[in-house]
C-alpha cells in the first residue's frame, strides 16, 4: 500500500510574438506545480486527489479546485474538477508546437476541461476511463449547476483511442459542450508513424461553437536531438485564411528549447521561442 | 536534529443529502494538504510551522494563517493560528460518523478553533499542552483584537483528558468564547471500552450560545472490517427534536467507505455516503 | 541529471515593540515556504522555477509570481520575478539584527527586489550573475510595463562583491529605481573580519529616494553560542536622529533566539525578541 504526497510540474519561459496586439513581443512564462496525495488500499485500489499551483506571465500563483480519483488497474474514475473525455482524446492536440505547446489546428469550440485555475461548479464532474492494451475509452459528465438547480445543461462527452502497430486513431464527441444546449462537437483523428523518425496525422473536428469544421494535417520529423514540426489547418468559415505552423524542438536532455512560427485563421502571425523543463 | 518539510492530508468525496435545501442531494468533497516545516534543535526542542491548502466542494483551494509551535517531550506551545483547548478536548467529537465526520451531538456553541481557511487575528492565539502517560492538559488564550486595541474580549479555554484501562474522561471549558463577553461553555465526557469491539460514551455540554445544554450518548461496534456507529443527542431547548444518527464504516485498508443517516434538532434528515482516504 | 521538487523555508515568531503605534507591543510572525522545481540537463545546465507561500502576522498565506532560472557552474540567469543586483549585493543588509532581521541602517531608497507576495509586471525582469572564486558580479533589468507600453522607466542595477582574506567589499548601483525616472542609488560596503569572533563593517548608501545619504557602521562579536550585534547609522537629513541598534543571537543548534533594541531616525524605539528556525 503506497501512501504519500508528491509534487511535480513544469516551467517554461521565453519570448512570444503576436501580430497586432499593443506590445507585440512579450516575455511569456508559466510555472506549474501539481500536488498529489494518494493512498493505495490493501485491495489495490488507489484513491487520490490533486491540486495545482500555477503562475502565468508574472501573475501571483493561483490555486484550483480539487480533482479526486479512484483507480484500479486500467480503470479510473474521477470526481470534482475532472478531466473530460473530449479534452483527453489521444491525438487531438498533436499538432501543437513551440515552448508553449500551441496550435491553430487545435479544437476551436467550447467544452469543459480540467480547470487549472479557480473554482469549478461544486462537485459537478464525473469522469471514467478504461484502458486495456492498445485501447482506451473515456466518458465524462459535467453539470455546471449542481448547487442551484438552474436550467444549464450538463455536458456529456466520450472518447476512444486505439493503436495498432504504426496506426493510431482517436474518436471523441461532446453534447451540450460547456453547458450550452445544442453546442455539440465531434473529433476524428488518425496518425501514422512512418518510421522511428517521422509521424504524420490528420485531425477532423466539427464543433458548433467553432463556426465551421476544422481539418488539420500535421507531421513531425526527428533528426538526432532536433524534432521538426509542421501543420496546415483549414477552418471552413467564409474569409478564414489557412492556418499553418512550422516549429522545432531541440532536446537538451531533460529540457527542450522550442520555437515556432504560426499563422492563424485571421492571417495574424504568432511566434514563440523558449525553454520548457519538466520536474 | 531533524529538519525539513513534510506534506500530509486527506481527501474525501461522496454524496450528501440534506432535507429542505434547494438541491437536497449534492456531491460533497474536500482535499486537504498540511504543509509542515520544522527544525529540531540540538537540545531536543522542535520548532515548527504549518500552513494548509484546502479545496472544498469545488472551490479554489484556500490558504490559511500560519500555526507556529515549539515542542519538547510531552510539552507543546503554539502561537498564531492555534488549536484551542476546548476544540482539542478528547472525546468531544467522538459521536461523529459518515465520510464527512459530522454529528448533531457535537458542541453547538461558539468558540475559537484552528482556522482551516483565511486569516486570523494577527498573532492572537497562544496554546499550551502537556502530556504525561495517560494524562493531557491544555490551555489556550485567543485575543481577537491584538492589533486594534478594541474592546472585544479574549477567549480563555482549558481541557483535561485522562484514561485508565477501559475508562476515558475529558473535561473542558471556555470563557468569553469566540471573543464574546459572557459566552461561556463547559464539556464533560466519559467513554468506556467494553471489549475490543465495542465502545460507549456520554458527552455533556453546556454552552451559552447553544440555547441549551446538549447530552449525547454514543456507541461503536466493530465486526471485522465494518464499524457500526450510533448516537442519540438531546438539546434542552423548547421544541427541539431528539437528534440521532446511525452510521457505518467499511475499512478498505488505507481508506474507508463511510455512510450515515442522521436527524437534526429541527427534525431534518441528513445522510452521506462516500470515501475518505488519508495520506 | 537531477530533477525534482524541494520545499524549504523558515518560521519566526516573537514580540515586536514599536513606539507610538496604536498597540505598541504585538506578536509578530512569519512562515515561509519556497517551492522549487528544477531539471538538470545532460549538459549540466540546470533549469528551475520557484514559488513562495508565505503567511505574515496572521494573514492567510499569499502566493507570489514565479521566478525562473538557468544556471551553469558559476553563471546564473533569472527571468520573471527576479532577484535584483542591488538587493542581492553582499554586505548591504549586514547590520540587521533581531529575530526579524531588521536595521535602520538598511537602504532607505526605492528599488525593485524579488517580490515575496503577489504579482509582478509580466515577464518584466531579467537578472544575471557570475561567480568565480571570491568574486561575484550581478546585473538586473526590471521593466514594470512590458505589457502596456506605458512610459514608466526600466530599472537597471549592477553589483560586485569581492573578498580577499579578512577583507570583503561590495559595490552596487541602480538607475531609475522602482521604475521612477531619475531615482538613482549607490552603495559601497566594506567589512573586516578581525578574528574568528569579531567582524566590523561600514556601509555607505546614497539614494535619491532616501532624502539623504546613509552611513552605517556595524560590528558583531561571538562568544560561544551568543553573538552580540551593534550598529550606528547616520541619515544626512536635517533633523534626523542618529539611528542605532544593539542585538543578540543565542544559537539553539538549528534555530536561534534573537532580540534587538533599536532607535530610528525619528527617534522612535523599536525592539523585538523571538525565535527563528530554518528548514
Q: Test A35 with B30 for CB contact under 8 angstroms.
A: no
Q: What is the mean pLDDT of residues B27-49?
A: 96
Element spanning A182, H or E: none
Residue A83 or B153, more confident: A83
Q: Which pLDDT does position C254 carry in this prediction?
A: 87
CA distance B59 to chain A (A): 4
CA distance B54 to chain A (A): 8
Q: Test C8 with B5 for CB contact under 8 angstroms.
A: yes
Within 10 Å of residue A65's Cβ, how many Cβ atoms?
30
Q: Which pLDDT does position C146 carry in this prediction?
A: 64
Q: What is the mean pLDDT of residues B18-23?
A: 91
Does some domain include residue C138? yes
Q: Given a cut of 70, is residue B122 above it in pLDDT?
A: no
Q: Test C253 with B117 for CB contact under 8 angstroms.
A: no
Q: What is the mean pLDDT of residues C45-53?
A: 98
C23 pLDDT band (50/70/90 cuts)?
A: confident
Q: Given a cut of 90, is residue C149 above it in pLDDT?
A: no
Q: Which pLDDT does position B42 carry in this prediction?
A: 92
Which residues on adjacent β-strands are paired with residue A4? A38
Q: Test B22 with A148 for CB contact under 8 angstroms.
A: yes
Within 10 Å of residue C89's Cβ, how many Cβ atoms?
25
**Taking CA atoms, what residue in A is nearest to C123?**
A27
Q: Is B81 on the interface with C (CB under 8 A)?
A: yes
Q: What is the mean pLDDT of residues B14-26?
A: 92
Q: Test B275 with A42 for CB contact under 8 angstroms.
A: no
Q: Given a cut of 60, is residue B150 above it in pLDDT?
A: no
Residues 6+ apart with CB under 8 A from C12: C29, C30, C99, C100, C274, C275, C276, C277
Q: Which of B48, B52, B39 is nearest to B7 (CA)?
A: B52
Q: Given a cut of 70, is residue C148 above it in pLDDT?
A: no
CA distance A153 to chain C (A): 35
Partner residue opposite A26 with nearest CB, options C79, C118, C146: C146
Q: Test B41 with C279 for CB contact under 8 angstroms.
A: no
Cα separation, B84 vs B169, in Å, equals 18
Q: How many CA atoms lie within 13 A of A219 on its CB side?
A: 8
> DSSP states of C13-65 as a string?
EEEEEETTSSSSEEEEEEEEEEEEEEEE-TTS-EEEEEEEEEEETTPPPB-B-
Does some domain include residue C21? no
Cα separation, B36 vs C8, in Å, equals 10
Q: What is the mean pLDDT of chain C?
A: 94
**Taking CA atoms, what residue in A is nearest to C52?**
A61
Q: Test A37 with B10 for CB contact under 8 angstroms.
A: yes
- On chain C, the residues whose CB falls within 8 A of the CB of A62 are 63
Q: What domain range is C98 assigned to?
A: 3-8+27-278
CB pairs under 8 A between B and C: 125
What residues of chain A score a pLDDT lower than 50? none
Pairing of strands C135-142, A46-56: unpaired
Exposure string for C165-197, b = 16+ CB within 10 A, e = fewer: eeebbbbbbbbbbbbbeebbbbbbbebebeeee
Ramachandran assignment for C20, one of left (phi > 0), alpha (psi -120 to 50 degrees), beta (any other)? left
Interface of C with A in 15-54 (CB under 8 A): 35, 37-43, 45, 47-51
Give, in order, the Cα–Cα distances in Å from B39 to each of B4, B45, B46, B66, C56: 7, 8, 6, 16, 19
Q: Which of C208, C174, C167 is nearest to C189 (CA)?
A: C167
Q: Which pLDDT does position A150 carry in this prediction?
A: 56
Which of C34, C36, C56, C61 is most worth mutating to test chain B (most B CB atoms within 10 A of its CB)?
C61
C-alpha cell at A29: 512564462
| Strand, helix or coil for residue A115 | coil
Query: Do residues B29 and B57 make contact, with C-beta atoms less than 8 angstroms apart?
Result: yes
Q: Test A26 with C147 for CB contact under 8 angstroms.
A: yes
Q: Test C29 with B66 for CB contact under 8 angstroms.
A: yes
Give the burial class of A132: count Cβ atoms within 10 A of its Cβ; 0-12 exposed, 13-18 middle, 19 or more buried. exposed
Which residues on adjacent β-strands are paired with residue C109? none
Does some domain include residue C89? yes
Give the burial class of C58: count Cβ atoms within 10 A of its Cβ; 0-12 exposed, 13-18 middle, 19 or more buried. buried
First to last CA, chain B: 25
Query: Do residues A258 and A276 make contact, with C-beta atoms less than 8 angstroms apart?
Result: yes
- On chain C, the residues whose CB falls within 8 A of the CB of B1 are 253-254
Question: How many structural domains comprise chain B?
Answer: 1
**Taking CA atoms, what residue in A is nearest to B8?**
A5
Query: Do residues A105 and A247 make contact, with C-beta atoms less than 8 angstroms apart?
Result: no
Q: Test A122 with B58 for CB contact under 8 angstroms.
A: yes
Q: Which pLDDT does position B121 carry in this prediction?
A: 76
Partner residue opposite C47 with nearest CB, options A22, A55, A255: A255
Q: Given a cut of 70, is residue C12 above it in pLDDT?
A: yes
Give the burial class of A81: count Cβ atoms within 10 A of its Cβ; 0-12 exposed, 13-18 middle, 19 or more buried. buried
Query: Do residues B109 and B210 make contact, with C-beta atoms less than 8 angstroms apart?
Result: yes
C-alpha cell at B41: 534543535
The per-residue pLDDT for range A228-271, each reduced to its tens digit, is: 999 999 999 999 999 999 999 999 998 999 999 999 999 999 99
Interface of A with C in 258-277 (CB under 8 A): 275, 277
Residue B257 or C26, more confident: B257
B144 pLDDT band (50/70/90 cuts)?
A: confident
CA angle C54, C55, C56 (to 5 degrees): 120
Q: Given a cut of 80, is residue B149 above it in pLDDT?
A: no
- On chain B, the residues whose CB falls within 8 A of the CB of C60 are 62-65, 117-119
Using H for helix, E for strand and C for coil, what is the string for C98-138? CCCCECCCCCCCCCCCCCCCECCCCCCEEEEEEEECCEEEE
Give, in order, the Cα–Cα distances in Å from B80 to each of B126, C10, C59: 7, 15, 10
Q: What is the mean pLDDT of residues C70-75?
A: 96
Cα separation, B198 vs C96, in Å, equals 60
Q: Given a cut of 70, is residue B166 above it in pLDDT?
A: yes
Supply the CATH number for residue C249's domain: 2.40.160.10
Does some domain include residue C130? yes
Amino acid at each position: 500500500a503506497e501512501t504519500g504526497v508528491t509534487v511535480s510540474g513544469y516551467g517554461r519561459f521565453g519570448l512570444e510574438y503576436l501580430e497586432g496586439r499593443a506590445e507585440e513581443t512579450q516575455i511569456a512564462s508559466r510555472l506549474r506545480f501539481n500536488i498529489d496525495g494518494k493512498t493505495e488500499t490493501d485491495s489495490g485500489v488507489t484513491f487520490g486527489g490533486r491540486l495545482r499551483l500555477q503562475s502565468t506571465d508574472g501573475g501571483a500563483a493561483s490555486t484550483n479546485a480539487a480533482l479526486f480519483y479512484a483507480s484500479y488497474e486500467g480503470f479510473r474514475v474521477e470526481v470534482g474538477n475532472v478531466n473530460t473525455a473530449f479534452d483527453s482524446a489521444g491525438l487531438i492536440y498533436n499538432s501543437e508546437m513551440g515552448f508553449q505547446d500551441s496550435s491553430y489546428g487545435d479544437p476551436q469550440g467550447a467544452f469543459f476541461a480540467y480547470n487549472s485555475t479557480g473554482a469549478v461548479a461544486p462537485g459537478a464532474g464525473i469522469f471514467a476511463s478504461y484502458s486495456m492494451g492498445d485501447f482506451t475509452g473515456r466518458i465524462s459528465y459535467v453539470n455546471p449547476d449542481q448547487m442551484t438547480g438552474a436550467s444549464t445543461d450538463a455536458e456529456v462527452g466520450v472518447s476512444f483511442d486505439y493503436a495498432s502497430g504504426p496506426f493510431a486513431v482517436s474518436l471523441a464527441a461532446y453534447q451540450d459542450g460547456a453547458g450550452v444546449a445544442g453546442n455539440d462537437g465531434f473529433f476524428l483523428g488518425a496518425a501514422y508513424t512512418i518510421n522511428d523518425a517521422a509521424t504524420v496525422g490528420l485531425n477532423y473536428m466539427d464543433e458548433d461553437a467553432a463556426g465551421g469544421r476544422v481539418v488539420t494535417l500535421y507531421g513531425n520529423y526527428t533528426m538526432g536531438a532536433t524534432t521538426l514540426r509542421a501543420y496546415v489547418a483549414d477552418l471552413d468559415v467564409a474569409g478564414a485564411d489557412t492556418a499553418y505552423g512550422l516549429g522545432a524542438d531541440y532536446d537538451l536532455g531533460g529540457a527542450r528549447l522550442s520555437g515556432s512560427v504560426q499563422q492563424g485563421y485571421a492571417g495574424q502571425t504568432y511566434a514563440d521561442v523558449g525553454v520548457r523543463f519538466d520536474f
